[in-house]
Amino acid sequence: MNTDLKISFIGAGNMARSLIGGLLNDHYPAKNIWASDLNAQQCTKISADMGIITTSSNLDAVDGANIVVLAVKPQMMADLCRELEPHLRQSKPLIISIAAGIRSDALQRWIGPSQAIVRTMPNTPSLVGSGATALFATDAVSDERRQQAESILRAVGVALWVNDESEMDAITALSGCGPAYFFLVMEILQNIGEKMGLSPETARLLTLQTGYGATKMALESELDCAELRRRVSSPGGVTERAIDKLLDKNIDNLFSEALITARERSIELANLLGKS
Ligand SMILES: NC(=O)c1ccc[n+]([C@@H]2O[C@H](COP(=O)([O-])OP(=O)(O)OC[C@H]3O[C@@H](n4cnc5c(N)ncnc54)[C@H](OP(=O)(O)O)[C@@H]3O)[C@@H](O)[C@H]2O)c1
């Protein structure tokens, strides 16, 4: 990406920090990164920690910006867009929204139908550079701008495009909420390990390293997860006994119901947030 572009983050909280950290790691010049936040402490901290330019004025931040990343909570988004709209209408930067559940049609209604908007759905591991982000571009987004958006999100993990925005609800249910499912499974395994007599430290370390190791293996392998599972479940062995118990109790149906419910809730919330 051209490193002369002014990139402005509106909202300098957790996600903005992680994306800015990713850009700096990719050697994007700090002098071309701006952030604005209503909270003066956030501005002072992020400028001291990262050396970027900060301001309490959103309008100063977007002034002359080539890319504007909207990084406030979803419920703040309508008001923020309305504040920025007169300015954005003139300057027409690429707008990237990272807010969960705000659809592009709502953004277009708030900031104008011809704006180049990329809606993204990142997840929490972005905070440690291991995120999974889906991106959706409106018609006004050129190939060059798609690449710019992708570079910013790829700096904190994997980034992939969807052509149909309605997939975002399934993505929210899968990778948006996904870290919580894995945390729950690890919480359960750790607790059971302790109940079986392991020390909390041992149960925790073995659980987390096993989760990490299994993920690393799956990412590096050409085999799919079902085959990897079969290969560690020898007939008549210990793992097979445990897996059979989980499948007998319909663990797949349970996850299916959970994700379908999550997708329905994502649709409900997007309808609600997009109303204003
Ligand atoms: N954290 C994640 O892992 C994650 C994952 C996926 C998506 N997201 C999305 O990322 C967005 C940001 O999340 P976050 O966790 O970074 O939130 P956050 O830490 O609360 O940061 C948002 C910042 O924006 C400030 N702010 C609020 N209204 C503002 C306005 N009108 N103008 C300028 N600044 C304003 C807030 O100040 P105050 O605190 O004073 O309100 C806060 O400092 C959300 O939309 C969320 O859906 C986050």
Mean pLDDT of the 65-89 span:
96
Domain that holds residue 17: 7-168
Name beta bridge partners: 160. Answer: 134
Neighbours of 143 (CB within 10 A): 8
**Per-residue model confidence as pLDDT tens digits over 7-48:** 999 999 999 999 999 999 999 999 999 999 999 999 999 999
**Per-residue model confidence as pLDDT tens digits over 181-196:** 999 999 999 999 999 9
Q: Is the CB of 13 under 6 A from ligand 1?
A: yes
Assess if residue 201 is contained within a domain: yes
Run of H or E including 95? strand 94-97
Single residue among 107, 142, 168 that ends a domain in this structure: 168
**Per-residue model confidence as pLDDT tens digits over 111-170:** 998 999 999 999 999 999 999 999 999 999 999 999 999 999 999 999 999 999 999 999
Name the 3-class secondary structure at 135: strand
User: What single DSSP character describes residue 1?
Assistant: -
By the 10 Å C-beta count (0-12 exposed, 13-18 middle, 19+ buried), 61 is classed as buried
Q: Is the CB of 36 under 6 A from ligand 1?
A: yes
Residue whose CA is at the smallest distance from ligand 1 atom 40: 39
Assess if residue 76 is contained within a domain: yes
203 shares a domain with 154: no
Q: 124 Cβ partners below 8 Å, 6+ apart?
A: 131, 179
pLDDT at 77 over 90: yes
Residue 255 maps to which CATH number?
A: 1.10.3730.10
74 shares a domain with 133: yes
In the reported structure, the alpha carbon of residue 124 is separated from the centroid of ligand 1 by a whole-number distance in angstroms of 13
Count of domains in the chain?
2
For residue 14, give the ligand 1 atom closest to its CA.
Answer: 16
185 shares a domain with 164: no
pLDDT for res 123? 94
In the reported structure, the alpha carbon of residue 143 is separated from the centroid of ligand 1 by a whole-number distance in angstroms of 28
In angstroms, the CA 276 to CA 109 distance is 10
182 shares a domain with 160: no
In angstroms, the CA 186 to CA 250 distance is 19
48 shares a domain with 143: yes
pLDDT for res 142? 97
Run of H or E including 133? strand 131-137
Q: Tell me the pTM.
A: 0.94
Neighbours of 63 (CB within 10 A): 14
105 shares a domain with 65: yes
- Counting other chains too, the contacts that 159-165 makes at CB distance below 8 Å and 24 or more residues apart are 159/120, 159/133, 159/134, 159/135, 160/133, 160/134, 160/135, 161/134, 161/135, 161/136, 161/137, 162/134, 162/135, 162/136, 163/136, 165/103, 165/104, 165/119, 165/136
Single residue among 136, 168, 200 that ends a domain in this structure: 168
pLDDT for res 276? 77
pLDDT at 1 over 90: no
**Per-residue model confidence as pLDDT tens digits over 60-71:** 999 999 999 999
Q: Which of 45, 73, 153 to mutate to test the pocket of ligand 1 (most atoms within 8 A of CB)?
A: 73
